[in-house]
Each structure stands twice: as C-alpha cells, then as structure tokens.
Amino acid sequence: MGGKVPVSLGIVGCGDVVRLYFPMLKDMAKKKELLVSCVCDIIEEKALVAQRWIEAPRVYTDVEDLLKDEAVDMVLNLTPIQIHYDITMKAIQAGKHVYTEKPLAADIGQADAIIEAAEKKGVCVGCAPPMALHPDHLRVKQIVESGALGKVCYSRTTGSNPGPAWITEFTTDPTWFYKKGGGPIYDLGMYPIQLMTQLLGPARRVVAFAATSVPERVVVAGEAKGKKITLEVPDNIQIMLDFGEGTFASIDVTYCALSNKDKPRLELFGESGILYLYQRAEGPIEIFRREDRFGLRGWMQPEDSFWGACLPAISMAGPPTRPFSWAEGVLHLVRCVENGTKPVLSAEFARHSLEIAVKAMESAETGAAMTLDTGF
C-alpha cells in the first residue's frame, strides 16, 4: 500500500539565502516529508548549481514556466526583497501555496492583497522567519504565558549584523540589500519584531530613529568582492514599541554591528522575574593577535560564521531531533496544507511585522509615534 503523496515544492530564487534552506530541505525530502520538484533562477548557472545540490528533477530560468508545472503544489519564494510581492501573487494566482522569505511585501496594501487573493484561491501563505517555531522561543513563550515573570514591563532584543557586504560567507552581489525597498529594517528587522510580537502580542504604537551611518560599503567577499555600494536606505535603526498597559520593547536593527559578544539575544524584565535568552555559546578556541598599526594586541575567540549566531545554540527545551533550520517554516506550512490548519507563520502575522517596519521608517522621517492598526 502506498502512502500519501508529499507536497511538492518549486523553489524560486537560488542566491545565498537558499543555502540556509537546502541541507534540511534535502533531509526532509529523503524522509518524504515533502518533495522538491524544481528550482528556478533567472541566472541559469545558479539554478543548475541549486538543482545539483537539492537533486531536483527540473530546472527553470523563467518563473512563468515553473508556475505552469502541474507537479508543483507550493512555491518557496527566495527572491530579493523588492520582488517578493510579485512572485507571491503570481504563485497564488496560479493556485499554488506559497512560503516566502521575509518581508511578506513592500507595504500593507500589498500584504492585504496577498491575504485576500490567497483566501479567494483557497491556498495557504506562510512567511519567514521561522524562529517562532524554534524550541527556545516556544519555551520562552510558555514561560511568559505561565505568569512566571509576572507582568512584562519592558524587553530588549537585537536584529543587527555587519550587513551582507561585510559578511565573508556571502557569495553573490549584495547590492540590492542597500537599494530602495531593502535595508536592515526589512532584511534583519523581521526577526526581533516577530519574536517580540510572538511573546507580547500585537504592538499598538512604534517610534524610531533611522540614519545612514556608513554611506558607502565595499563588498569583502564573493563574486562582487571590491565593489563599492552607495546606500539608498538607512543602515542604522533604533525602534521602540508600545504594547499598551505599560509594556515597552526596544530593538536595534542595523548593518553597523561587526559582531556580537555572547550577550542575550532577548531580555525580558517582568514585575516578578527576569528572563535572558542567549544566542550562542562561545567556542573553545582562543587566538592571540597583534595589530601594531592600531596599537592593539590581545586574545580572541573566532566565530565560525556570523550567520550561525542567528540561531540560538542552547535549547532550554532539550536538543531537537535534528538541527533547526530556515526550512522548518516550509515544513510547517506543508503540514498545515496537509492537515487543513492555520499556520503559526501566517500572512496575518507577517503583515503585522511588516506594518511595524513600515511605520518605524515613517516615524523616523516624521519624528512622530505611529499607531499600528493590524493584528494577528
């Protein structure tokens, strides 16, 4: 007797982000939790590399051809931020379920259109990041909801890194991150915004400061190494959220953090308790370096990859059965499609995060606190 046929994916976009998905997607495919039917990228060479990695039967260079593929049940949208909306809407209109990288869209009007179109077509839409599914975050949510901390009075978290031009593991041209529609608020901001709203519920108001602190970046690695990028968007953003009833949260979202020590990823200060969630443990290796030109000398502990710091390494709930990855969000949506359940990483959840980001930038421009209207 044969089992049920797994949901089949078509992957659109084969740049650097796909590397965060592929190892676990391949594992999931081997376990028949899902299938990967095809990959697509406008640059054929990248599509072919991705095809070999994931062992997909078919490869496309035109998304329209992929959407005509009857074997594809769900589209995984890993394209640049500026075209998320276009690809997602085309997939919905083609009757495909969609899991998209964040942000969901460029503005609230587009997010509303996605939600409405998905409802009309009877398809599911889910949106990264998947951190709301992480065992550590679920455990923290359970602790908050249990009342162990009492009323949460304020919280702090971070969503900063050096930016893709200064990340040595980045291989493709990162220019689009620094163009209009991009920037750290939409690239990195979705992680801490999602975490805060997951724990504290929909925010009511946002106020922010934003500036371009380093107006030109030189790419340090990959195919665009040495390229100079002039920023079109702020690279340094500080956000304050008001959740009502005297509960506040602060978030830094910048491309100005060369690295981070092993400080808490999240701090919650409640009336009867405090909770710290650490993002990673320091490695056991130490190296002594001297930089006479700067008058510096000292010991250091090298980090394998700044990207690795994005995932909490110490699970309070015990080790997961396999490493947590970005692909967990895809599998979550697959199971929701199979079971007819609403995803945790819903389009409505993503829309609220997007509204916070959009209105944070409006606040930075106007100097006014902005009221938030969406929920989830």
Structural domains of the chain, with CATH:
8-130+328-346 (3.40.50.720), 133-318+355-371 (3.30.360.10)
Tokens 């602060």 correspond to what residue? 250
The predicted pLDDT at position 322 comes to 60
Let me know if 318 is exposed, middle or buried by CB neighbors in 10 A (0-12, 13-18, 19+).
exposed
The per-residue pLDDT for 242 is 98
**Per-residue pLDDT tens over the stretch 202-247:** 999 999 999 999 999 999 999 999 999 999 999 999 999 999 999 9
In whole angstroms, give the CA distance from residue 193 to residue 353. 6
Per-residue pLDDT, 191: 95
Tokens of 257: 């953090």
For the cut 60, the answer to whether the pLDDT of residue 319 exceeds it is no
Q: How far is CA 264 from CA 20, 253, 256, 309, in A?
A: 23, 15, 18, 11
pLDDT at 3: 60
**How confident is the model over 147-166, as a mean pLDDT?**
93
pLDDT score, position 72: 98
The confidence band for 288, taking pLDDT boundaries of 50, 70 and 90, is: low
Res 169: pLDDT: 83
Lowest mean pLDDT among 60-64, 66-70, 85-89, 302-306: 302-306
DSSP state of 23: H
Alpha-carbon separation of residue 372 from 37, 242, 247, 305, 355 (angstroms): 40, 10, 15, 36, 7
Bridge partner list, 75:
10, 98
CA distance 210 to 239: 9
Residue 309 in this model has a pLDDT that exceeds 80: no
Residue 284 Cα to chain centre, angstroms: 28
pLDDT of residue 279: 64
Do the Cβ atoms of 63 and 38 come closer than 8 Å? no
Q: Does the pLDDT of residue 152 top 50, yes or no?
A: yes
User: 357 vs 137, which has greater pLDDT?
Assistant: 357
Strands (E), the chain: 8-12, 35-40, 58-60, 74-77, 97-100, 125-127, 152-158, 205-211, 216-218, 228-230, 236-242, 248-254, 264-270, 274-278, 287-291, 296-300, 370-371
Q: Which pair of structure tokens corresponds to residue 201?
A: 């519920």
Angle between helices 22-30 and 327-339 (to 10 degrees): 40
Per-residue pLDDT tens over the stretch 112-121: 999 999 999 9
Burial of 102 (0-12, 13-18, 19+ CB in 10 A): buried
Alpha helices, DSSP H, located in the chain: 22-30, 44-54, 63-67, 84-93, 108-121, 135-146, 184-187, 190-200, 327-339, 347-366
pLDDT confidence bin for 287, thresholds 50/70/90: low
| Residue 17 scores a pLDDT above 60 | yes
- Mean pLDDT is lowest, of 35-44, 139-148, 248-257, for 139-148
User: Cα dist. 57→26, 37, 198 in Å?
Assistant: 13, 6, 38
CB-CB contact of 186 with 163 (8 Å):
no
Choose between 299 and 106: higher pLDDT: 106
Contact 258, 160 (CB under 8 A): no
In the numeric block, which tokens belong to residue 113? 């259109």
Beta strands 58-60; 74-77: pairing state: unpaired
Q: Which amino acid is at 133?
A: L
Q: Check if the beta carbon of residue 135 is closer than 8 Å to that of residue 277.
A: no
* 333, 337, 338, 342 alpha-carbon torsion, rounded to 10°: 80
- Return mean pLDDT, the chain: 90
Instruction: Confirm if 154 and 373 have CB atoms less than 8 A apart.
Output: no
Report the C-alpha gap between 225 and 266 in whole angstroms.
34
What average pLDDT does the segment 100-123 reach?
98
